[in-house]
Structure 1
Amino acid sequence: MASDIGFVEYVIEQSQLAARLGHKRLFGEFALYLNEKVVAFVCDNSLFLKNTEAAARLAPDCPMLPPYPMAKPHPMANALLDEPDLLRKVLLAIEAELPAPKPRAPSKRTKARR
């Protein structure tokens, strides 16, 4: 079942990160980005955190479930939607822990225009 954009907007609102927390559609579901780093996923209208030490430390009670079939378990963080301050803190900690994204190679179209 694909996730609703309304649920994604609700997660962003609850995080209190506004425009800093972006989203992109990903195979009918969504990836949530903070400073160009994937920090969470929305799958089947549930919030799954990136499985990091920060997530384990700050949200230890989140059940570990696969966000989609055949996926590795991730912390399912729907309970954090009722605790906006903790949700924001967890997402910021996950972002701080992740490495910077690698620069993207120019596309073939860009190279052809030169």
Structure 2
Amino acid sequence: MATDASYAAFVVDQAGPRLRVRVGRMFGEYALYVDEKVVGFLCDNRTLLKPTDAGREFFENPEIGHPYPGAKDYWVADDVVEEAPRFQDLLRVTAAALPAPKPRKAKTKTPGAQP
């Protein structure tokens, strides 16, 4: 079951206006970005976040989920999403704990290629 666009919109809405949060379609599901860092995924209408030491304080005993077979462990944050202020704090500390995204390489034009 793929994630509904309405669920993705709900998650972004819960993140609030103070964080730069967006979702992007990826492999039929959604990647969740904060400040252009992938902090997790929305899969099957569930919110999966990358585990970080800073984020551990938001979970007593985190449920583990996987965005796709063979993926690393992610924390299921469905309960936290329901509490907007707590979810916003979790997103903030998770994004701060992750490295900055690598700069994209500029596309090079092939000589003689038509625009």
Tell me which interval the TM-score lies in, with the shorter structure as reference length: 0.7 to 0.9
Say whether the 8 Å CA contact 1:55–1:75 is kept in structure 2. no
Report the aligned-residue RMSD: 2.0
Whole-Å separation in 2 of the counterparts to 1:99 and 1:76: 21
- Measured against aligned partners, the alpha-carbon deviations of 1:23-46 in whole angstroms (never above 9, x if no partner) come to 110100100111110112100010
Unaligned runs of 5+ in 1: none
Q: How does the TM-score come out when normalised to structure 2?
A: 0.86
More helix by share: 1
Q: Report how far residue 67 of structure 1 moved.
A: 2.4
| Alignment partner of 1:44 is 2:44 | yes
Percent sequence identity over matched residues? 37
Say whether the 8 Å CA contact 1:39–1:49 is kept in structure 2. yes
Say whether the 8 Å CA contact 1:37–1:101 is kept in structure 2. yes
Name segments (4+ residues, structure 1) moved above 6 Å: none
Whole-Å separation in 1 of the counterparts to 2:74 and 2:80: 14
Q: How does the TM-score come out when normalised to structure 1?
A: 0.86
Query: Larger radius of gyration, structure 1 or 2?
Result: 2
More off after superposition, 85-94 vs 67-76: 67-76
Unaligned runs of 5+ in 2: none
- The corresponding residue for 2:54 is 54
